[in-house]
Structure 1
Amino acid sequence: MTENASAKAANPLSLFEFWPGWIFYTPVVLYWFLLGLKYRSLTVPTAANPRIVTGGLCGESKSSILDMAGTYATDWIAPYTTLTTGKDDTARALAAIKARGLELPVVVKPDIGCNGTGVRLVRTPADLEKTLAAFPRGIDLVIQRLIVWPHEAGLFYIRHPDSPQGHISSLTYKDIPAVIGNGRDTVLDLLRQDNRAARLPELYEKRLKDRLHTVLPEGERLELLFTGNHCKGAIFRNGGEDITPELTARIDAIMQDIPDFHFGRIDVKFRSREALRAGQDFEIIEINGVGSEATHIWDSRTTLREAYAAQFHHYGESFRIGASKVAQGWRPTNLWYGIRLWRRQKRLLASYPPND
């Protein structure tokens, strides 16, 4: 049985949790078009974070967002460096890691990407060489320190341009499912005995193909994935009750140290729930802009009505904030330029290796 299974046993999957994207997002797209008519532009939200390419809707560089952080915000971001794949990239990567004061293990991920595609855990120089070779040449990558804290969360942050303070509109805990050995059953048996994992074989069995017929010793824990992404198999829980004044103040101070950032999700690793509530002992993995969503909707207890209400609220906010920034003189992304960037991102995602 997987960890966290007991909490989810009564309702392992929501009605819509793994619907095809075109089904779930069609009402969201229609709502976006309605807002576009109201604001006389489909790309107004791209002005919500005007210093980021497309406001972070698509095609943006992850490292360029982190690079904008001031001194205070930088202290809360996990250290990273960047690399472009190509000739002698393993040697160059090792040199960049050393120059940045990092050491193996590290996390390697595409600089332009989404949903955890291509994210790899690299433990040794041999792993690094294999990982870099799996990417096409000329791809920009982020190499980031592996954060040892065990928990991950996504916090959605909103600050209106005319407001001195921002707020956290959503907090999602991201649990990594794992099977626990009993000394008798194979990994495949354990997956099929679990109420949730058994319904999602396409997410776990391919990734674990080399270990499916291994019998885990009694008590041994095997995590089913590395990345905390719902579409890859992580379990998301609504943590809205843990949005405290202390956490809000900390996140607001960090995000106000990133120029003209008003709308997006911050993904963090943290030591404990108590520490996060106190606004302490966490590190930022990445910062996402307008293209991100409030991921608490993927909690299996969320109803379809609640999910759409959250989606409509957040995208409505992105239009309102974008319109305010346009009134200040910022220009939204040209529609056709945005489409070109979206197409490029789709091509890049298709070229990346599977995630860990």
Structure 2
Amino acid sequence: MSDISLASRLQAAIARRTQAKPVSFFEFWPGAVFYAPVALFWIAQALRHRSLTLPALANPRIEAGGICGESKNDILDLAGAEARRWIAPYIGITTQGLATDADLAMAEAAMAEAGLAYPVVAKPDMSCNGAGVRLVETSADLARYLAEFPRATRLQLQALVPHEGEAGIFYIRHPDETRGRITSVTLKYAPMVTGDGRSRIRDLIAADARLNSVSHLLLPKLGAQAARIPAQGERARLVFVGNHCRGSTFKDGRHLITQALTDRIDAIARDIPEFHFGRFDLRFASPNALRRGEDFSIIEVNGAGSEATHIWDPETSIVEAYRTQFFHYGTAFRIGAAMRKRGTPRYGAWRLFGIWQRQKALMAQYPTND
């Protein structure tokens, strides 16, 4: 099946499933409201285990276990030969301290050495929720991105994976277990419209139940592009970053979990030293290929701060969402406790707070995302 035919089928399927219920009633609650029960659960677990930062020990080779402030490049650099076969090629570079005109030459030299060619995906080394991620198709695009990027700050350039399907797969392995398991699969659908040769993009958005419900996220990003009239049959992707808080639709994909997929993800995870808890974000060729554990490329590995994102499926109940959150973060505490028992040094709360502050400050300086 070609990427085009797959994309068309995915778009049609998502349109059918979201007309009746385009968003869940809690999907766009303020973070402070939705995560309040999660914060209380975290505090209860901290009292029980006598440590507020215990999940930071779940993946001891990753800064803060991946709660926040972790390096995307450093995590991927941990991968052994087996895991690296499934990771999209990437390089890490650091912008110059003062001059910006030297950044492009440095970046393109690094790309050439690594065998990367345009288009590539540029992303900050330290960020979350797709902040600062941008598709870079030409040398001029990269020059603009680097000029907008903070000075003396690390970033990542990664090959653009051509597969249309995108998923997040959550993986857990207790340190005393020899094999891990998949606890969540989320299918991510970027917002897109299909032109009829007459309607503006903003009109096509208004005519779609899901897109209209998230138009407050889409239209400000589109700007003048919202007035463009796509040609008949033209598929226009409205955002590049596959994040539900930026307009993408997330669907529960746990029906795709098979023994073959579990074996593949487990082999990859066990080839990342002391990785026990987190989410693999990847692009895949087709659902059937994903079931077989084939034809996918990992674009990011997230640690203890990640969540099982199938909870943002519009059809997921709030009870199921909190049950899932409590299960996963409770597991993070239990894994952290097991690692502490093995002698892993504690991770101080002030240290974690400082890293979170640094990440927050950097994210405010990143270029706008696509």
**TM-score > 0.5, shorter chain as reference:** yes
Are 2:99 and 1:85 equivalent residues in the alignment?
no
Equivalent residue for 2:310, pick from 272, 296, 302: 296
Q: What residue in structure 1 maps to residue 145 of structure 2?
A: 131
Residue 151 of structure 1 deviates from its aligned partner by: 0.7
Q: What residue in structure 1 maps to residue 232 of structure 2?
A: 218
Residue 318 of structure 1 deviates from its aligned partner by: 0.1
Could you state the TM-score of these two structures normalised by the residue count of structure 2? 0.95
Residue 218 of structure 1 deviates from its aligned partner by: 1.2
Are 2:53 and 1:43 equivalent residues in the alignment?
yes
Are 2:204 and 1:190 equivalent residues in the alignment?
yes
Are 2:353 and 1:343 equivalent residues in the alignment?
no
Deviates more, 1:176-185 or 1:62-71: 176-185
Q: What residue in structure 1 maps to residue 259 of structure 2?
A: 245
Residue 122 of structure 1 deviates from its aligned partner by: 0.5
The amino acid across from 2:288 in the alignment is E
The amino acid across from 1:13 in the alignment is V
In 1, the alpha carbon distance for the partners of 2:227 and 2:278 equals: 42
In 2, the alpha carbon distance for the partners of 1:179 and 1:280 equals: 29
In 2, the alpha carbon distance for the partners of 1:134 and 1:5 equals: 36
Unaligned ranges ≥5, structure 1? none
Structure with bigger helix share is 2
Residue 164 of structure 1 deviates from its aligned partner by: 0.7
Are 2:160 and 1:146 equivalent residues in the alignment?
yes
In 2, the alpha carbon distance for the partners of 1:157 and 1:217 equals: 42
In 2, the alpha carbon distance for the partners of 1:118 and 1:32 equals: 29
In 2, the alpha carbon distance for the partners of 1:300 and 1:60 equals: 30
Are 2:126 and 1:116 equivalent residues in the alignment?
no
Are 2:219 and 1:205 equivalent residues in the alignment?
yes
Q: What residue in structure 2 maps to residue 64 of structure 1?
A: 74
In 1, the alpha carbon distance for the partners of 2:47 and 2:182 equals: 28
In 2, the alpha carbon distance for the partners of 1:315 and 1:183 equals: 48
Residue 188 of structure 1 deviates from its aligned partner by: 1.1
In 2, the alpha carbon distance for the partners of 1:129 and 1:210 equals: 23
What is the root-mean-square deviation of aligned Cα atoms in Å?
Answer: 0.9
After superposition, the C-alpha distances for 1:265-309 in whole angstroms (9 at most, x for unaligned) are 000111000000000001110100000000000000000000000
The amino acid across from 2:24 in the alignment is S
Residue 210 of structure 1 deviates from its aligned partner by: 2.4
Task: Give the 5 Å matches for 1:137-176.
Answer: 137-176=151-190
Q: What residue in structure 1 maps to residue 3 of structure 2?
A: none
Secondary structure of 1:353's aligned partner: coil
Q: Note if contact 1:50-1:332 (Cα within 8 Å) is conserved in structure 2.
A: no
Could you state the TM-score of these two structures normalised by the residue count of structure 1? 0.98
After superposition, the C-alpha distances for 1:69-110 in whole angstroms (9 at most, x for unaligned) are 111111111110011112311110000000001101100000
Unaligned ranges ≥5, structure 2? 1-10
In 1, the alpha carbon distance for the partners of 2:260 and 2:130 equals: 29
In 1, the alpha carbon distance for the partners of 2:196 and 2:171 equals: 42
Number of residue pairs the alignment of both structures matches:
355
Q: What residue in structure 1 maps to residue 4 of structure 2?
A: none
Q: What residue in structure 2 maps to residue 19 of structure 1?
A: 29
Secondary structure of 2:241's aligned partner: coil
The amino acid across from 1:53 in the alignment is E
